[in-house]
A and B are shown apart, each in its own frame.
Chain A
Amino acid sequence: DQQVKQNSPSLSVQEGRISILNCDYTNSMFDYFLWYKKYPAEGPTFLISISSIKDKNEDGRFTVFLNKSAKHLSLHIVPSQPGDSAVYFCAASGPTTYTGANSKLTFGKGITLSVRP
């Protein structure tokens, strides 16, 4: 049962253009969403997150959009740079409780972004 889905395994964009990475989830208990970037032979690096009480969060070139009714989130990278070429993982956690118990962090299978110079 794949609760977080990244349906496109790869994406190729031209340098300077927008990259849009999509992610869908099925578990309505998720209330915190994150994007990670991963280079080969390294651990994932946190990029940006969004709480379910928001629909948009922006950090420099990175913006995450959350559509709760559609159970869909997306990461926009503008402008895309060659150094952005990596695997991007969408992740979700929840429910967030005071004690932190009964939660888990669920990842999508990742999408490989290639930015062409």
Chain B
Amino acid sequence: KAGVTQTPRYLIKTRGQQVTLSCSPISGHRSVSWYQQTPGQGLQFLFEYFSETQRNKGNFPGRFSGRQFSNSRSEMNVSTLELGDSALYLCASSPLGLGQPQHFGDGTRLSIL
């Protein structure tokens, strides 16, 4: 069974630009969640999507947004990039939601210059 796939693996952007990250969940998983990992803050929950709807949200500004498609694939968008957005962005999926073990992809490393 294929795991969670995130693309691209690495990305370099400059301040003020926007970026879109992609996540393909495990087949059959309807819940997709996103996380930001930085050395100082650790792993922080961004949001969770289920059946194309954002169901849960962490404490990030509105520059961070996402969406989920009918095939459960998900995208995360960050607008007006700041230096502090440099991080590893992880996507995870599960059959039904956050009350189950999450299966993580290997992440997208975003660097802001």
Contact = CB atoms under 8 A, between A and B. Distances in A.
Interface of A: 32, 34, 36, 41-46, 49, 89, 91, 93-94, 96, 99-110
B56 to A, nearest CB: 5
A41 B106 contact: yes
B9 to A, nearest CB: 9
Contacts of A106: 45
B15 interface: no
A46 B31 CA distance: 16
A93 B100 CA distance: 9
B33 interface: yes
A107 B104 CA distance: 14
Contact of B43 (A42, A46, A89, A94): A89
A93 B103 CA distance: 15
Given A100-B55, A100-B99, A105 B105 contact: no
Contact of B45 (A96, A101, A104, A110): A104
Contacts of B41: 109
Interface in B72-102: 90, 92, 96-99, 101-102
A108 B98 CA distance: 16
B90 A43 contact: yes
Q: Which of A96, A103, A105 has the most CB of B within 10 A?
A: A105
A43 B96 contact: no
Given A89-B42, A104-B98, 19 more contacts: A32-B99, A34-B101, A34-B102, A42-B106, A43-B92, A43-B105, A46-B102, A46-B103, A89-B43, A93-B99, A94-B99, A100-B50, A100-B96, A103-B56, A105-B33, A105-B35, A105-B98, A108-B42, A109-B42
Contacts of A102: 56
B35 to A, nearest CB: 8
B44 A103 contact: no
Contact of B101 (A43, A49, A103, A110): A49
Contacts of B4: 43
Nearest to A2: B42
